């Protein structure tokens, strides 16, 4: 007699296959704190929330910006792929003119000549030390932008070292393979992705995160050597998923098992925990963006989310920040910088 779970299994297999197709086409690599939904818009001159009626407001007392020059280092979560306008060279780095470093520099009043954004989509810690190949030519070693005169440095890196986008893709593959098992009568796993990464008897993802931490520690020490008077801020990754995996059913369906959504959240927390630990050990400041982004994950509604889902809004990058996300991270960073 046919098993009653087959129609659901077929749907799961199809949706997982579609998810893999979306992730395969993902360009750019990998990877408001005040309780409102304004994000960073309220911190920028001339910006107001959509639909709001402008009202006179008192002129705030200017806060002295940190000493410039300011150098921004990082990967695609820093660069802002496909968020208009795209600026800078090489074009293959996919830097946005409204990514969080650009927004921070503007809010702090840093002159354009005193600001360098050398972030690049797909960057790993090794690309901070050596040139990174892109489709439009090499991006010079990011650390080369630092000088003894640099006073402010932001670093958003580590997700690609840990292979986080690969892990997300693997979880979709694991769900697809598990659905096929069900179709041929084999037992399904509750968390196929977690089991995949623990199949060798060790937590493979945690090992990658720890290795990334070693490399980040070396990078932070090198920043200190090149720019000994700079204030350094290590920027964490915003929340990709809600605390309750059930909140993703409408967005992701059954493409990833609920237990594996919890696994992905756990791994992102480990990644951010590593970044915090390494920042503090190096005397840098860790900037938490997971807390401010709660409720703005990829499974939130289009008007609320900071991270695009695997099937993003037109023209944006799957599983990466949108403009609201860059604003939200900039707001958290601005709060940290101003103390």
Q: Tens digits of per-residue pLDDT, 131-184?
A: 999 999 999 999 999 999 999 999 999 999 998 888 877 787 766 654 443 433
What is residue 177's predicted lDDT score, i.e. its pLDDT? 54
**Which is the catalytic residue, given 96, 119, 293, 320?**
320
Lowest mean pLDDT among 170-184, 211-225, 312-326: 170-184
Output the CA angle 217-223-229, nearest 5 degrees.
130
What is residue 229's predicted lDDT score, i.e. its pLDDT? 96
**Residue 196 among the catalytic residues:** no
What is residue 3's predicted lDDT score, i.e. its pLDDT? 41
Residue with the two structure tokens 């005193």: 114
pLDDT (tens digit per residue) in 93-144: 999 999 999 999 999 999 999 999 999 999 999 999 999 999 999 999 999 9
Asked whether the predicted pLDDT for residue 333 surpasses 80, the reply is yes
On the CB side of 278, CA atoms within 13 Å amount to 27
pTM: 0.80
What is residue 256's predicted lDDT score, i.e. its pLDDT? 77
What is residue 182's predicted lDDT score, i.e. its pLDDT? 42
Asked whether the predicted pLDDT for residue 299 surpasses 60, the reply is yes
Asked whether the predicted pLDDT for residue 40 surpasses 80, the reply is no
Torsion sign (Cα): 330, 66, 215, 126: positive
**Run of H or E residues at 233:** strand 231-235
DSSP class per residue in 11-75: HHHHHHHHHHHHHHT--S----TTSSS-TTGGGSTT---TTPPP---PPPPPPPPPPSPEEEEES
Q: What is the mean pLDDT of the chain?
A: 82
Please tell me the distance from the alpha carbon of residue 132 to that of residue 127, in angstroms, as a whole number: 5
**Which is the catalytic residue, given 15, 30, 76, 102?**
76
Residue with the two structure tokens 């958290």: 332
Domains of the chain from N-terminus onward: 65-338 (3.40.50.1110)
**Residue 293 among the catalytic residues:** no
């Amino acid at each position: 007699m046919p098993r009653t779970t087959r129609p659901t299994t077929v749907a799961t297999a199809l949706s997982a296959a579609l998810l893999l197709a979306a992730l395969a086409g993902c360009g750019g690599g990998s990877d408001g704190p005040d309780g409102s939904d304004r994000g960073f818009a309220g911190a920028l001159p001339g910006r107001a929330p959509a639909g709001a009626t402008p009202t006179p407001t008192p002129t705030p007392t200017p806060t002295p910006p940190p000493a410039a020059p300011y150098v921004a280092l990082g990967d695609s979560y820093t660069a802002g792929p496909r968020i208009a306008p795209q600026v800078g060279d090489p074009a293959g780095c996919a830097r946005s003119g409204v990514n969080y470093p650009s927004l921070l520099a503007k809010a702090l009043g840093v002159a354009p000549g005193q600001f360098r954004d050398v972030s690049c989509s797909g960057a790993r810690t090794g690309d901070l030390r050596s040139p990174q190949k892109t489709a439009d030519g090499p991006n010079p070693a990011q650390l080369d932008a630092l000088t003894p005169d640099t006073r402010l440095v932001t670093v958003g890196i580590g997700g690609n070292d840990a292979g986080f986008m690969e892990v997300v893709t693997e979880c979709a593959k694991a769900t697809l393979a598990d659905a096929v098992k069900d179709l041929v009568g084999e037992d399904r796993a509750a968390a196929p992705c977690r089991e995949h990464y623990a199949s060798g008897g060790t937590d493979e993802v945690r090992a990658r995160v720890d290795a990334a931490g070693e490399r980040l520690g070396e990078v932070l020490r090198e920043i200190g050597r090149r720019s000994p008077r700079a204030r350094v801020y290590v920027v964490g990754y915003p929340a990709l998923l809600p605390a309750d995996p059930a909140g993703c059913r409408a967005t992701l369906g059954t493409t990833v098992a609920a237990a594996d959504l919890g696994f992905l959240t756990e791994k992102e927390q480990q990644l951010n925990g590593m970044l915090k630990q390494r920042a503090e050990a190096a005397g840098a400041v860790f900037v938490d963006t997971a807390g401010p982004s709660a409720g703005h994950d990829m499974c939130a509604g289009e008007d609320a989310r900071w991270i695009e889902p695997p099937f993003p809004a037109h023209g944006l990058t799957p599983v990466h920040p949108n403009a609201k996300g860059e604003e939200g991270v900039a707001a958290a960073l601005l709060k940290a910088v101003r103390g």
